[in-house]
Amino acid sequence: MNFSEIVSAVDDFVWGPVMLVLLVGTGVFLTIRTGFLPWRNLPYALKSTLSKEARTKSRGQGDVSPFSALTTALAATIGTGNIVGVATAMVSGGPGALVWMWISACFGLTSKFSECMLAIKYREVNEKGEMSGGPMYTMKKAIKNKTFGKILGWLFAFFAVVASFGIGNMTQANSIASALNETFHVPLMIVGIVITVLALIIIVGGIKTISKVSSVVVPVMAIFYVICALVVIIGNVGNLPSGIATIFSMAFSVKAVSGGALGTVVASMMGAMRYGVARGVFSNEAGMGSAAITAAAATTDNPVRQAYINMTGTFWDTIVVCTITGLTIASSGVLGMTAQKAQGIYTVEGNQMVIEASYNDGKNEDIRYDIAVDGNKVTLQSEQKTLVLTPYAGDEDKVQFTDASAKEEQGASLASVEAGPAAAAILEDGTVMIDGTWQGDDKNIYNFSVDETNKGGSFRYSELVEGSSLTIKAFETVLGKAGGWLVTIGIALFAFSTILGWEYHGEKAFEYILGTHKYNMVYRIFFSLIAYVGATQTLDLVWNLSDIANALMAVPNLICMLLLSGEIAKDMKAFQSVLKQEKEAKAAR
């Protein structure tokens, strides 16, 4: 196994059923334990976020205003997950993945509230007079077993530093570089250098400079993106009802397959759940504890009050922005679109096939495969990889698989066999021949067109359009080339703001590990430089590394919230009397 395959295997394990149950289950448990107060008080939270008071530092102590704390947290969360992540989830997990993003976000509201409230409650003031807080401080100070709390706190801080370079830096830089290179043909090296320089200029000023930039950039870029997306949705409004219907039907559909293919059903449901929840968390970071680090810097007189404000980050990020992206893709009809990447010829001798392909980027490749036919599957095995092919579009009723004893015309061209979109046959001389259009287990499309010799033919390879390319295609259905430019600009702004927000998260975790703020500048410089590395990595590798760091960071945070769930519920319920008094005082004016 090469490095990418090992990373992919680890990613599949850490984001398996256990992590999904822990993430969503913690949110469900906390929502019930708190009497659904985060849902019931969401209108209050949204109103507080948009109030003038949230933009001042008039109530309590802290480094930045409540609104600046939220926008800095949103700078880290509203990023590539809202554009690239949604598209990736809908391709990999199906359109139904969007519903699972919504479901996880609803319970994520409580998770986001809980981690932020605890972080503010147990924050400290460092030697420079700045607020330092986050789940690591909560674990150290609030968990009764101090040794266990310190271990959890250190693990969280370590994983947060690692995650800051993955989910908060390399992935974002990779998305910026890919988008600018594809749309404007800007060299990756140039993009990496620009990102590094801009990040350094802003990051050196610390939380106050980062929050000033975020409080302006985040609202402007979010509103700009939503307006452009709404224009596309309105332009494709005729497709919107069917698009929404597909989203919901694919989220909960269980396709009955004769023979009791339970594995197929589980894989299908788990696919939508896995990618929906994973990309939802990647986008809104609920349960990860990252937003709590920024929340701890807010000026407030009550941890619960600020936690409600920071809780709305999940709403704005997933329920609003991610939904807009999902509906844009669903209504545009581009989901499932393929782009041809290579073409060439293939020859067959016995049970071996040689494919000679020329790729669009100028690369040529010759690969020898061993062929095996098993039921409705064709397996191609080479020294580099194993590829499992099934009939394209899954229309198995129209596909015939033949062998030498099944037909008399095996020696004839497969074109004469009524096999629908795909066919596989063993000819008289033992040659295994495949023809037609197939889909690989990598979700890409492989087309074989056999010639009259029955010894080969022409070959085409197409990849499913995903990530930023899919969102760009959706925008272009209404806005033309300008749509691609707008998405590219949106990705660049969203991703760069994420880099700024995550720098602060990682810096505070780094400070916690070392026990001093004296080396923060070293972290800032190194963090900025690593963005250049991220800009040159492959998309799949960076996504998988980010997913792994994401999961490892979430585990100690979720354990902490479960252990302190009673305290969370108690403080929330106590704040209800404060809300009641404020409403009565306002009514009496």
The answer to whether residue 236 scores a pLDDT higher than 50 is yes
**Tokens 């939270």 -> residue:** 45
Backbone angles phi, psi at 84, to 5 degrees: -75, -45
pLDDT at 253: 65
pLDDT at 175: 79
Supply the pTM of this predicted model.
0.81
pLDDT band at 416 (very low <50, low <70, confident <90, very high): very low
Is the C-alpha dihedral spanning 404, 405, 411, 412 positive or negative?
negative
HSE, CB side, 13 Å, CA atoms: give it for residue 227.
7
Cα–chain-centroid distance for residue 79? Answer: 10
Residue 269's pLDDT band (cuts 50, 70, 90): low
Q: How far apart are CA 484 and CA 468, in angstroms?
A: 9
- Count the neighbouring beta carbons within 10 Å of the beta carbon of residue 438: 25
Three-state SS at 299: coil
| Phi and psi angles of residue 19, each rounded to the nearest 5 degrees, phi first | -65, -40
Complete DSSP assignment for 77-127: HSSHIIIIIHHHHHHHS-TTHHHHHHHHHHHHHHHHHHHHHHHHHT-EE-T
How far is 9 from 162, CA to CA, in rounded Å? 19
Predicted local confidence at residue 307, as pLDDT: 95
Q: What is the DSSP letter of 177?
A: H
What pLDDT, on a 0 to 100 scale, did the predictor assign at position 391? 81
Q: Per mean pLDDT, which of 227-231, 249-253, 254-258, 342-346 is the most reliable?
A: 227-231
Give the pLDDT band of residue 584 (cuts 50, 70, 90).
confident
Q: With 70 as the cut, is the pLDDT of residue 395 above it?
A: no
The residue among 531, 162, 148, 101 whose CA lies nearest residue 323 is 101
| Per-residue model confidence as pLDDT tens digits over 326-357 | 999 988 888 777 778 888 898 888 888 888 88
pLDDT tens sequence across 426-473: 666 667 778 888 888 777 888 888 887 777 888 888 887 777 788 888
Chain position carrying tokens 């396709």: 255
* 423: three-class secondary structure by DSSP: strand
Task: Report how far residue 390's alpha carbon sits from residue 396's, in angstroms, rounded to the nearest whole number.
Answer: 9
| Position 23 pLDDT exceeds 90 | no
Residue 404 dihedral angles phi and psi, to the nearest 5°: -65, -25
pLDDT for 308 beyond 90: yes
The pLDDT confidence band at residue 412, using thresholds 50, 70 and 90, is very low
Q: Is the pLDDT of residue 141 over 50?
A: yes
SS3 at position 447:
strand
More reliable by pLDDT, 45 or 359:
45
| Lowest mean pLDDT, pick from 133-142, 276-285, 553-562 | 276-285
Give the pLDDT confidence score for residue 409 in this predicted structure: 35
* Calpha distance 71→75 (Å, rounded): 6
How far from 93 is each of 9, 245, 320, 555, 557, CA to CA, in Å?
A: 17, 16, 20, 23, 27
Output the pLDDT for position 193. 92
Q: What is the mean pLDDT of the chain?
A: 82
The band of 363, judged by pLDDT with boundaries at 50, 70 and 90, is: confident
Query: Please, are residues 490 and 221 in contact by the beta-carbon 8 Å criterion?
Result: yes
Q: What angle do CA 268, 17, 551 make, to 5 degrees?
A: 120
What does the alpha-carbon distance between residue 584 and residue 589 come to, in Å, rounded to a whole number?
A: 9
**Measured between alpha carbons, how far is 466 from 85 in angstroms, rounded to an integer?**
9
254 band by pLDDT with thresholds 50, 70 and 90? low
pLDDT at 542 over 70: no
Q: By the 8 A CB rule, do 95 and 247 touch?
A: yes
Checking if the pLDDT of 258 tops 70, the result is no
* Band (239; pLDDT cuts 50, 70, 90): confident
Q: Which structural domains are found in the chain, ordered by start? A: 3-48+63-336+469-584 (1.20.1740), 338-464 (2.40.128)
